[in-house]
Every structure is written in C-alpha cells, then in structure tokens.
Structure 1
C-alpha cells in the first residue's frame, strides 16, 4: 500500500481522519454554545479520561466549533507547579483579539484589554503562587493597551480572575456571542489556581455571563475540583471520554480507507479491535502500521498479524517508553509492582506488600508518579495507571 496515502494519524492531540464515536459529546457542546449565545444558563464543561482516548482532540474540535460561531477563543496547557495567570492572560488576549474587529465601540475593547494587561502584570516574580510582587522588572505581556489600575490587579488570583471574566464576558455580550477558554491537563493546575478558577466560573454562572471554561484531564480531575470547591460537582458538566465501541472503532478505520478506495475484511477489523482494545490512539497506531505493510486491498487479518509487532514496537518506544523513562528507579519498582497485580486499580497496601515495604515508606514514590501523570488515585486507597495497557507493557518489559 502507498504510505503517502496512509490516512491514519497516531499523533498527540492530532485529529484523526474520522472522529468516530464522539457524536454525543459534539452534540452536547453544540447545545452549550447555542444556549450560552442565547443568554441561557449553562455550565462550563470538563472532559475526563485516560491518556490516548482523544480528550485533546475533542478539546480542539470544540474550539473549532466555537470559532465557526464567531466566538472568541483561547487555549492553554497547564503545567505542574506553575500559576495559570500568564498563560490564561495569553489565551484571553487571543480571544479578545478575535472579537475586537467586530465590536463597534473601540473604547470598550481598549478598556477590557487594559484590564487584561493589569491582570497579566499583577505577578512578576512569583509564578508559583500568583501573588503580586513589586520588585524586579515588570513582565510585558504584549498587550497594546494602557493598563487599567484598580481592576483585576490585586494580586489575589481569585478576585482578579472574577473581575477579568466579568469584564471580558461583557464584550462578548455586546456581540451576541461568547468566549470559550480551553485548558488541557487541567489536573496540573496548582490547587490555589483551581480554587480561583472555580470561583470565577461560579460568579459567571450566577450573573449569566457568556464565558465558559472547557477543561480536559485525567480521571481523578473531578476529585481535584471537588477538593478545591465543594460546589464544583454542580459547577461543571462532566463528560467521561472512554474507549470506542466496536462499531465506532470499525468506522474510524473503514471510513478513511474507503475514501482511498481501500477496504478491510471483517476478520481484519476484528483483529484490529482486539489489538487496539478500542482506544483511539491505538486504533490509529495499528491502522497506520497495517496500511503500510499490507500489499493490497482488501486488507486481511494476516496483514494485521504481520503489522502488529511494528505497531507495538513504536508504541513501546514513543507512547509507553517515553513515560517509563521519566520515572526514577524507585518509581519504576512501584509501577512494576502495580503491573504484577493486574490491570485493574490496585490497593496501595497490596503494592507495598508485594514489595515487602510499609505503605508509608512508598508514599514519596506514589506521590511523585501522580505528579508526573503516570498514575492516579482512582479512589481512596487505590491507584491505577493513567495510560491504558501500561501494565501489559511493563510485564512484557520484565520478561
């Protein structure tokens, strides 16, 4: 098969040629956009799921949908231990720049940009806490406006974010549209910033401002939000993103191939689903490898069998191996012990028992793995991998 015509795209956050199995989520967001634009009350949205299920792809799809409706949009990726003030300033700046050319009152835009500049400059040296500092050179955010003093510049992120969101939302109201801010890896936002974000969203929900936050993160994200604000379970619409069912996975493979006049035999689709387990990233990885090694159409189960080792090798290096390499020896021991206990969430005391250690002595390794995004606490006293099939990878590696 011609590799140039290969339609499959196993890339990080890269949209697949066919966004199969996500029709319900797309429809939900269409309703959110329409309700907000009409001034109806609507919650912000949070997508949760394991790595490789397509959360970032959906986040980018939602942003495209908002842009098509002439909304102002901005997107950031949260980083551990780093305040979101600067990155959120850049995202809001982008959103306001998208709205500015259509606004009939330049002074209004100028004022809100000035508020945004004050918000961005309220911190200079202390990125981690988001607190204002008055020593050292002032950071220049690249916003072409005069900073508005006394608005969104107190240094308290909770107060500043509320004021910024309210002022920015008023510009969108003037145009009959909305503003959507997209935050990937939301679980990595520092706890104080999560609290501020929840408070600002709560304020918007009460006054009906047309600004929403759409976040994406790992399965424990709802617990992170709930620990920050008790009302967060009512503040967001939670959407769990899971692996594709057989019909959706078959469509994700067949539709792009058919566009290239290539078909799969039924047995080949069955073999691909068994190999990928329906996880979208794996569907694309196995589909790509099978296409490259198949000699002709129709693609057969034998083609899948021949191609599977190449797909697994690529996943072992790029998808699994890159994460494994980030772990320290102690963390690798902890993960190998998890893998030996099976693929379901395991009790932390069972991991400790298998290593012959006290649970408390393993807390540093476990906490570090959580911060690195390699494992998550699925429920109190239990731990699980954030990456599907990671346990299988570790067991194969130790053979």
Structure 2
C-alpha cells in the first residue's frame, strides 16, 4: 500500500495517530486542572512505567490539556549530571511568558521573572559549564530564591510563580520527563517545595514521568512523598485498546485488518504502544492491499524485528561496556522478570559485591532498575529476549 499514506509513527515521544487506552489518565487530569482552578486541594502527578509504554507521549498530551485551559506550562527532561536550577528556571520562564500577555500588572511579571533569574544564577559554574545567563531582560532579584539552598530557593520560586497563575484564576504546571534522573538532593527539594505549596493551596503542580522505581526514589527522598503525589502506573495496552490503536488510523485511510491480522499483531507487539506502531508501520508498507491479513503480518515481522533490534534494543545495548553486557546477559538467561542480584552473581561465579559497579552503572544509564530490594529488572520490555537472541 501507499507508504506516503502510512499513518503509524514509531518514534521517541512521538504522538501516535490514535492515543488509545489513556482516557482514564486524561479525564482525571482534567479534574485536577478544574479543581485547582477552583482553589480545591489536589496532588501533583507521577507517571511510571517501562520504556516504550508512552509515558512521554502522555506527558505531552497532559501538557496540551493544561495549555488548552490557559495554564502556564513548562517542560524539562532531567539528567543525572545536571541540577534542577537551569532547566526549572527555563521552564518557568516559558510558563510566565505564556501568562504575561493576560496579566494586568507588568511590574508583577517583571518581579517574578527577576526571582527566576536570581534562582538560575545560583547555579554553580563548572569547568565544562560556565555560569549560565538566562535570557531574562530584568535585573536579578536579591534576597529571594537566591540563598544557595535548593530546597529554600525552589519553595520561594514556586510560591512566587504560582501567585501569577492565581492572579489569573489558572495555575502553572511543570512537566518533568525522566524524573528518576533528578539528582537526589534536588529530588528531595522538589518534594519539599510541592509539600509547602500543597499546604498553602498555591496553584502550581508537578507532573513527572519516570521508570518504575521512581516512587521508591521519591519515598527515599521524603517519607511523605507517598501522600504528596498521585501515582499512575502506565502499562501496555489491553487487547481492545491495542486493536483500536491500529484500526482507527487505518480506517481514516479506508484500510481494514482481518481478525487474524489483529491477532498476529497483538502477539507480536504484546500490547506495548511503541511496538504496535513499529509493527503497524512495517506491515502497512508490506501489505499489497486492504484488508491487511495475517500473512502480511508474517511477511513484515522480520523487518519490524530487525528495525527494533537496531533502533530500540541495539542502540541501548551499544551503550553498555563489556562488563555491563555480561551482567545483562546473565539477567536475561535467568528470565524476563525481576531477578535477584545474588542469582546473577551465582550464575557468573562472582561475589555480589564485585558486580556492584556494573549494576550501578546500568541503573545510571537507565538500562536496568532496582525492582525491589535485592533484585533488578530491565527498563525495556522484551530486552531479555533480544539479548538471548544475540551471539555470546
């Protein structure tokens, strides 16, 4: 069939043509936005799940909802080697620019921007990263959000930024992708600032997305974080939603699937949104005509698997050192679910302590996560199957 009309879109964070199976999260976020606008108490949100389940896509969809309600929004992608000062300052600068044209007091906006600038300028310069100059054309405030203590400064910054949203009867939403990579001290400060704002009812919320162990990291940083956030586990799609993700965009192009084709595609993609888009795209290009059949899926599957092996699995595998690959291969041979670190050590004939550097590095690279105490699991679905298919 015509590849130009192919509706499927496998890409990192790229919105699929049909955002299937996420109505519950979208509807609940609408309630959150409405309640906060009416000065009702609400918690910030955290989305967790494996890679490829659509966390970033959903995060962007939630941001679009906030923009549609005229909120100020900003988004950051956390990095393990970067403090929050620069990205948070840039995100709040963007949010304030969205709200400024509707605010009646330009001096009020300028003051809050001066606080944002003061907060940003407390970022300590390094040899590889000289002092950052934010593009804010006002003098930096003095005595506000500039103490150097990230917890104090973040609380003061959020309080002042939220007041602008309050003036307009809306709020500010800060979206944080890869939230598990926020440095521990900054994650603790973020929780403390959210806690303070929740007590005062200030209209600013955090919407974070991260790997499955993010709730554990938040709980370790502040014990009250379990009550501070509303957690949503984002998982693979059920059969109905997976079929809808394929059939709805195809129907708009007057293309159909046979029931057997949908069976084969669900077996191949296992309900994971990224895989659904990947198999759907290659199958469309392979099929000669509508309806798409199970035979078309069978012919297309090797090409889809080859693309995933290079772009989805292989790119991550190449980031690992030989010692890290040995560790992951041992994990894969023990099974697809969480495995005990002691079992990994036993299978390699090593002491657990000698493998700690490889495990910790894999966690830092986002290839595995600590599923629970004493066990690890892959952050990427089907990664164990991919590793077992590779030559030793």
**TM-score bucket (shorter structure):** over 0.9
Q: CA deviation at 1:97?
A: 0.3
The answer to whether structure 1 residue 308 and structure 2 residue 335 are counterparts is no
Native 8 Å contact 1:47 1:216 kept in 2: yes
Could you tell me how far apart the structure 1 residues matched to 2:213 and 2:127 are?
A: 25
Q: 1:211 pairs with 174, 195, 204, which one?
A: 204
- Write out aligned runs for 1:189-228 (5 A): 189-228=182-221
Aligned counterpart, 2:25 = 25
Deviation at 1:140, TM superposition (A): 1.4
**How far apart, CA to CA, are the structure 2 residues paired with 1:180 and 1:8?**
30
- Residue 132 (structure 1) aligns with: none
* Cα contact 1:55–1:241 (8 A) shared by 2: yes
Question: In 1, Cα distance between the equivalents of 2:238 and 2:151?
Answer: 41
Q: Which residue of 1 aligns with 2:324?
A: 331
1:86-134, Cα deviation, whole Å (9 max, x unpaired): 0110000000000000000111101101111101111231599xxxxxx
**Farther off after superposition, 119-128 or 228-237:** 119-128
Secondary structure, counterpart of 1:397 in structure 2? coil
Q: Which runs of 5+ in 1 are unaligned?
A: 129-135
- Note the C-alpha offset of 1:84: 1.1
How much has 1:360 moved relative to structure 2? 0.8
State the SS of the aligned residue for 1:398. Answer: coil
**Residues 53 and 242 in structure 1, CA contact (< 8 A), matched pair in contact too:** yes
Alignment partners' CA distance in 1, 2:127 and 2:210: 22
What secondary structure is seen at the aligned counterpart in 1 of 2:390?
Answer: helix
What SS does the corresponding residue of 1:145 show, helix, strand or coil?
Answer: coil
* Cα pair 1:83 1:127 within 8 Å, conserved: no
1:1-399 to structure 2, matched below 5 A, reads 1-125=1-125, 138-398=131-391
* Deviation sequence 1:173-229 (CA, Å, 0-9, x none): 000000000000000000000001000000100000000000000000000000000
Going from structure 1 to structure 2, the CA distance change for 1:377 and 1:127 (only over 3 Å counts) comes to farther
> After superposition, what is the alpha-carbon deviation per residue over 1:272-330, rounded to whole angstroms, capped at 9, x for unaligned?
00000000000000000000000000000000000000000000000000000000000
Aligned to 1:131: none
CA contact (8 A) 1:82 1:127 kept: no
d(CA) in 2 for partners of 1:277 and 1:127? 47
How far 1:77 moved relative to its partner?
Answer: 0.3
Do the aligned partners of 1:53 and 1:280 also contact (CA within 8 Å) in 2?
A: yes
What is the aligned residue count? 392
Q: Following TM superposition, by how much is the alpha carbon of 1:68 offset from its aligned partner in structure 2, in angstroms?
A: 0.6
Listed one character per residue, the Cα deviations across residues 122-161 of structure 1 (whole Å, up to 9, x for unaligned) are 1231599xxxxxxx97531011112110000011110000
Indicate if the aligned counterparts of 1:179 and 1:212 stay in contact, CA closer than 8 A: yes
Q: Unpaired segments of 5 or more residues in structure 2?
A: none
Give the SS at the match of 1:74.
Answer: strand
C-alpha distance in 2 between matches for 1:126 and 1:350: 41
Counterpart in the other structure of 1:133: none
Q: Provide closer, same or farther for how the CA distance between residues 323 and 165 of structure 1 changes in structure 2, counting only shifts above 3 A.
A: same
